[in-house]
Structure 1
Amino acid sequence: MIRIGAVLCCVALAGCNAVSSEGPLAGAINSDAGQSGAELGRQNAAVFDIIDIDSRSARLVSDYVSSTLSRRFGIGGGVGPVVIGVGDALKVTIFEAGSDGLFSTSQSKQVSLDIVVQPDGKAAIPYAGSVRFAGKTLDEARKGILAALASKAVEPDVIVTSMGTPSRTVTVSGAVGKPSMVSLDLTKEKITEVIAKAGGPSTQPYETYVTLVRGSRTGTVLLKSIIEHPSEDIYVQPGDQIFLVRDPRTFTLLGSVRGDGRIEFGANDLNLLEAVALGHGAIDDSSNAKGFFLFRYEEPDIVKSLLGPARFQGLLRKGMAPDAKGRYPIVYRFDMSHPDSLIVGQTFPIKSRDVIYVSRHPSVDLRKFLTIVGTPLGIAAQGAATAAVLNQ
């Protein structure tokens, strides 16, 4: 009798392979991790590894700060001295000590001149001729005028004031209140200050991406990250282009959950438990508590820290390849059967475009097969086969 039961069990388990199902079992994901395409028999298979979500990995991922803008453009944006440019409007006020000078009378010892810097970078000043302004600071321009008037005016003094800076503009467009060419003052201004001049963002910071284009370099970062991390709020430079785009952060929930699909964050932050809850939770009688997986292209610094240098290099040799942004494919494994999972899950942050997959329990495929069989053979085998699967 025992021999017959074993045979029936084997037949039932073998038949499970013929039952169509949705998505891989946890065992298939676990066994494919760290394998090359050649080892899997699929030459172009994506190479990935699995990392368990525990207190260490959750803390490392949560504490990581992306530095897209500061890394690409340098903290502060490499801003040098602020100088006058072609087209800028200036007010030049000249003072003289005597009442019989070039610019003074008995009624006034000063004169104010409104000038515009010409395409050759110069502007005309009476008795001083063409004076170069472009490329100079206000103080350097003042000293240049003084030098030109030193032997002509009576103890002259000069004040140069900026009245307009058309040469110092930044284009701000997209999801802002007033898309426009924003003029910079003769001071250093940051991204958030320039966005404010353009009417501020028209969408929530947690779903607004900021792209800075400077020459041939481009960097994109979430506005929320710029606000929270001052190192990302870099100084802009004349000629920069800033684009704001609303792109609601979403994740995809698949597998043995009550509500799968693409889901918007709808909040400033989202952790793993909240993400699963947005899909109304896992299905009790079919989900595998040990089989919660999060698929992500992860930042290289995080991958190297979690895997270690040796493991990381080994995966590269096997064919693990980055995406267009230099991030590597990683699968995070989450075990909901442990009590502390409800604590750790609160600290693990979800990122935009994450895929969360809740695998089904192995017994699900067995139940499908036995339902299809629907014979005394299937009924007789059901108890022994189910027990065997559950004891795995």
Structure 2
Amino acid sequence: MKRTTSRWARIAALFFMACAVGACGLPRSGPGKKEIFSGSVMKEGDAFVVSVNDRVTRATSVTPVLGFSSDFLNAGQVGSDTIRSGDTLALTIWENVDDGLLADQGNSATLLEEVQVDGSGFIFVPYAGRIKASGNTPERLRQIITEKLDAQTPDPQVLVTRAAGDGATVSVMGGITKQGVYPISRPTRTLSAMIALAGGVTVPTEIAQITVSRGSQTSKIWFDDLHTDPRLDIALRGGDRILVEEDKRAFSVLGATGTQNRVRFETQTLSAIEALAQVGGLNSNLADPTGVFVFRNEPEAVARAVLGRSDIIGDQRFVYVLDLTEPNGMFEARDFAIRDDDTLYVTEAPFVSWQKTLSAITGTLNPLANYSTLVN
């Protein structure tokens, strides 16, 4: 009888020890569903916990809109032969006399090479003086110089040629094959032509962005839109700066997924199901498909639309709930848009918690059982 009582005492001790182990905090990848729901404003938290449906999907489908301002779109193409400050000109002047003003003895032609247009747009021509060159075509400048010289030498003939200079260049930088400074010439007066001259983009075209800076103005577009919308192939201006770079948007993924990391967008738009696929999907040994959560700060306008309330003031914390086991759960996840700085979190299945508890209990019982055997 005494031996039976002792055995039951050992069993009771083991039971209470197992309970203590189960009550301890077991290792896990993050909070459970119950803990997340307790953060709702309806309970003890400060976040709105919202189940995703068609209405919520429409209200939150906010994607970055990129495009050029009207100043860029309405700018006409610069004439390919318009002279600008910084350009270099070559002047050839023929005089219809043996002893001309400019030509050497025995020569009828005078060549003035590399005549630089100064910052004010002027050039200097001997006997013609200081002449305004910028804004004129080579033909018009030829006429002006001829008129100036005609009063001093009979029937002068003038030829003006222009080479692109510092005043007619564009800098191309970033994810481009050949970064550099390129002249605006007849074939490269538009954005797409200039990018082609620089060898094209080196980043994935679907997430490539083009930023054009002109003076104090800056606008950005998607590279793909440049080819689908002809209006975006804007005319360039001297001094424009073109930057090609990869989309910098990213989301964080945590919990029972194929990876836990900060992940860059691989497409212009990204749905929840695509985001899961991008990180290897749900971990089939750990994940609870009823507990897929998206954490986000929503601006006031979106928060009002999601909640159907007009008393919301300022940005709000939201937790969106996706249940992939519902009849439309996969469709909802396919349509729900992930945005920049979102946190995608997948909870562990209840079975995993039980399994961890049992493993902890088993690990506790084994040494005790060995000790009991030694005692016996």
TM-score higher than 0.5: yes
The residue that corresponds to 2:12 in the other structure is none
Q: Distance in 2 between matches of 1:285 and 1:50?
A: 27
Amino acid at match of 1:333: V
The residue that corresponds to 2:274 in the other structure is 274
The residue that corresponds to 2:65 in the other structure is 66
> How many angstroms does 1:212 deviate by?
3.8
Q: Distance in 2 between matches of 1:355 and 1:296?
A: 7
Distance 1:165-1:50 versus aligned 2 partners, 3 A rule: farther
The residue that corresponds to 2:84 in the other structure is 85
Correspondence 1:340 to 2:328: yes
> How many angstroms does 1:151 deviate by?
7.3
The residue that corresponds to 1:287 in the other structure is 287
**1:1-392 pair list within 5 angstroms:** 18-32=25-39, 40=45, 50=50, 52=52, 54=54, 57=57, 61=61, 64=63, 66-67=65-66, 70-71=68-69, 74-76=71-73, 84-90=83-89, 115-125=115-125, 128-136=128-136, 141=141, 162-185=162-185, 189-216=189-216, 222-224=222-224, 226-227=226-227, 233-246=233-246, 251-263=251-263, 271-284=271-284, 286-296=286-296, 303=302, 306-307=305-306, 311=310, 314-316=312-314, 320=316, 331-350=319-338, 354-361=342-349, 364-365=352-353, 368-369=356-357, 372=360
TM-score normalised by length of structure 2: 0.63
The answer to whether the 8 A contact 2:87-2:116 is kept is yes
Work out the number of aligned pairs and report it.
332
Distance 1:369-1:217 versus aligned 2 partners, 3 A rule: farther
Q: Secondary structure at the match of 2:166?
A: coil
The residue that corresponds to 1:382 in the other structure is none
Amino acid at match of 1:23: G
Q: Distance in 1 between matches of 2:208 and 2:303?
A: 29
TM-score normalised by length of structure 1: 0.60
> How many angstroms does 1:279 deviate by?
3.7
Q: Distance in 2 between matches of 1:170 and 1:191?
A: 10
The answer to whether the 8 A contact 1:52-1:334 is kept is yes
> How many angstroms does 1:167 deviate by?
0.6
Tell me the alpha carbon deviations over residues 190-218 of structure 1, each in whole angstroms, 9 at most, x when there is no partner: 43332222221123223544444444555
> How many angstroms does 1:149 deviate by?
7.0
> How many angstroms does 1:250 deviate by?
5.5
Q: Distance in 2 between matches of 1:307 and 1:161?
A: 64
> How many angstroms does 1:129 deviate by?
3.1
Q: Distance in 1 between matches of 2:238 and 2:197?
A: 15
Q: Distance in 1 between matches of 2:24 and 2:144?
A: 87
The answer to whether the 8 A contact 2:78-2:189 is kept is no
> How many angstroms does 1:181 deviate by?
0.7
Tell me the alpha carbon deviations over residues 199-251 of structure 1, each in whole angstroms, 9 at most, x when there is no partner: 21123223544444444555565534555555655444322333334578764
Distance 1:148-1:32 versus aligned 2 partners, 3 A rule: farther
Distance 1:250-1:94 versus aligned 2 partners, 3 A rule: same
> How many angstroms does 1:33 deviate by?
5.2
Q: Distance in 2 between matches of 1:334 and 1:258?
A: 18
Amino acid at match of 1:205: T
* Percent of residue pairs identical: 25
Q: Secondary structure at the match of 1:257?
A: coil
Which structure is richer in relative contact order (CA contacts within 8 A, separation 6 or more)? 1
Tell me the alpha carbon deviations over residues 74-123 of structure 1, each in whole angstroms, 9 at most, x when there is no partner: 44275786653222134678999x99xx99xxxxxx99976432344212
TM-align CA RMSD: 5.1
Q: Which runs of 5+ in 1 are unaligned?
A: 1-11, 104-109, 321-328, 375-392
Q: Distance in 2 between matches of 1:355 and 1:91?
A: 62
Task: Work out which of the two has the higher radius of gyration on C-alpha atoms and give 1 or 2.
Answer: 2
Distance 1:310-1:180 versus aligned 2 partners, 3 A rule: same
Distance 1:30-1:227 versus aligned 2 partners, 3 A rule: farther
Q: Distance in 2 between matches of 1:238 and 1:221?
A: 20
Q: Which runs of 5+ in 2 are unaligned?
A: 1-18, 102-108, 363-376
